[in-house]
Every structure is written in C-alpha cells, then in structure tokens.
C-alpha cells in the first residue's frame, strides 16, 4: 500500500501534534505531582492538583487544534478518531494508516523527549509518564468508563463539526471536555480515550497493565456513537474528517466543504 507522498506534511503534523500533547501532559503532571518539586507540597490536595492538570491539558489541546498545524491536518491526534472517520468513509485507507502510524510515533517521540529532559522525575511512581491505568474499581469499570468518554467525545465532534454554526467551536468543545474527564474520570481509568497516548505513556513507564482496555474501549465507544449518529441523521450528514475545518486550509479528506479538496487527487 503506497503512501501519498504529497500528504506527508499532514502525516508529520499529526506526529508533532500528539508528541506536543504528550510533552505538555507529562510536564504538567511532573510539575504538580512530583514530590521532588515544591508545588506538590504547596498544593497538597490531589483533587485540586488534578483540576489544574486537567485544565492545562485542555488548554493544550485547544491550542494545538486551532494552531496552523492543527488546521492543516485536522488535528485527530488519536487513532480511535482516525479509525472512526475511516469507517465513516471520510478518509482514504492509506491516509488513515499513515495518520495512525504518525500518531503512535509522535506519542513515543514526546515521551522520549520527556525522558531525556526530565529523567527520573518523569519515571517517579507519582508521575509514571502520565500513564493510564485502571483505578480502584478494576479493569471492567475502567473499560466501561473509557467507552463512555470516547462515545461522548465523538458525539461532540460529530454533532458540532457537521453543523455550520457550531463547526468553528468543535475544537473548543473537545478541549472543554478534557478537564472534566481528568477531574472526574481519571481516578477510574486514568483518562485515555486514545490508544497512541496510552501506549506511549506505558512504554515510558514500562507499565503495560491492562493496555488492552485502552486499545479496544476508545474505538468501540467512538464507533458506537458514529453508528448512532448515522442511524439517526444519515451518513450524508458527515461532511469532513477534520476537527477544525478552517477556511483556506488544504483538506486531504473526502470533504464536502469544497475548500481546496485534494482527497481524490
């Protein structure tokens, strides 16, 4: 299966976006949770620290989605999102495969960068490279929680990006979800909804416990919402695979907006 070389910029951007997100997530986790730094003792309440980390991660996601790079690639940053749009026939299979490979490589690159820069701070048991692990309720509950948040995220993406008046705010809505997930859902599953993000953190932490949850639950939740959306509204109501479809930005997907469309070229 030959890759589309003229789409290489989008592939590299996807890697850079998830790598940047991983660096930010780990950096803020180190800053607020590492016992070696003063902020942890200055903010002793773990709930408050979780709130701050959640808002930092949400702000990072919003900045990446609305950045020039995010506008160019569509800012998937998540294999589950890419696979869902492949299932919805809005992305070519070769582009989907390249996006997913780039996301995994980008996530790993971000973790390696943190490991080089932060070293033992990133590997401390309180940080563990922001690894996603089931909480005290166990793997089954973590799996259900991951399905639920992935379903909700895809619901927000599809119901906002395919409405003209809401589409410009899709990235904002997705970013706003992140703090709520980090605050309320992360104690249950670690808050992933992203196989590449979980794999990269697991690789850094050398902690692969229940990784199958984070490879299966996010696609399942997103597929379920995509099926519900197309059943109630129709496949024709899915217009593009971009999270942020900015005017004047090249689109390599099977896009119905007609803006510099190149998916079938």
In a domain, 190, yes or no: yes
Domain containing 133 — which CATH number?
1.20.1080.10
SS3 labels along 94-110:
HHHHHHHHHHHHHHHHH
Structural domains of the chain, count: 1
pTM of the model: 0.92
Higher local confidence (pLDDT), 117 or 256: 117
Q: Each residue of 104-117: pLDDT tens digit? A: 999 999 999 999 99
C-alpha dist (Å) from residue 226 to 24, 85, 219, 263: 29, 9, 10, 21
Q: Each residue of 50-99: pLDDT tens digit? A: 999 999 999 999 999 999 999 999 999 999 999 999 999 999 999 999 99
In whole numbers, what is the pLDDT of the chain averaged over residues?
92
In a domain, 180, yes or no: yes
In a domain, 209, yes or no: yes
Which residue blocks in the chain are alpha helix, DSSP H? 8-33, 38-42, 46-66, 68-73, 79-87, 93-118, 120-123, 139-161, 170-180, 186-189, 195-205, 211-233
Domain that holds residue 94: 5-237
Is the pLDDT assigned to residue 238 strictly greater than 80? yes
Radius of gyration from C-alpha coordinates of the chain: 18
In a domain, 260, yes or no: no
In a domain, 249, yes or no: no
In a domain, 242, yes or no: no
In a domain, 253, yes or no: no
Q: Are 115 and 27 in contact (CB under 8 A)?
A: no
- Ranges 110-114, 156-160, 164-168: which has the least confidence: 164-168
Beta bridge mates, 251: 261
In a domain, 55, yes or no: yes
Give the span between the Cα atoms of 113 and 121, in whole angstroms: 13
């Amino acid at each position: 299966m030959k890759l589309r070389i003229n789409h290489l910029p989008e592939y590299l951007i996807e890697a850079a976006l998830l790598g940047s997100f991983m660096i930010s997530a780990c950096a803020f986790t180190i800053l607020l949770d590492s016992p070696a730094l003063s902020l942890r003792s200055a903010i002793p309440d773990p709930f408050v620290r979780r709130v701050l980390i959640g808002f930092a991660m949400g702000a990072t996601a919003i900045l990446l989605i609305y950045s020039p790079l995010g506008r160019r690639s569509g800012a998937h940053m998540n294999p589950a999102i890419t696979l869902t749009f492949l299932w919805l026939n809005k992305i070519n299979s070769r582009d989907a495969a390249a996006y997913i490979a780039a996301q995994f490589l980008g996530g790993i690159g971000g973790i390696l960068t943190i490991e080089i820069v932060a070293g033992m701070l990133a590997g401390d048991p309180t940080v563990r490279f922001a690894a996603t692990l089931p909480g005290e309720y166990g793997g089954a509950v973590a799996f259900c929680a991951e399905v639920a948040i992935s379903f909700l995220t895809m619901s927000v993406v599809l119901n906002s990006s395919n409405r003209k008046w809401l589409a410009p705010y899709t990235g904002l809505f997705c970013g706003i979800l992140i703090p709520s997930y980090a605050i309320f859902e992360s104690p249950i599953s670690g808050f992933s909804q992203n196989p590449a993000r979980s794999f990269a953190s697991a690789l850094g932490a050398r902690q692969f416990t229940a990784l199958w949850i984070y490879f299966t639950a996010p696609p399942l939740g997103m597929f379920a919402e995509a099926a519900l959306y197309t059943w109630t509204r129709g496949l024709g109501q899915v217009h593009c695979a971009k999270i942020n479809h900015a005017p004047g930005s090249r689109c390599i997907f099977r896009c119905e907006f007609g803006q510099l469309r190149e998916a079938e070229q």
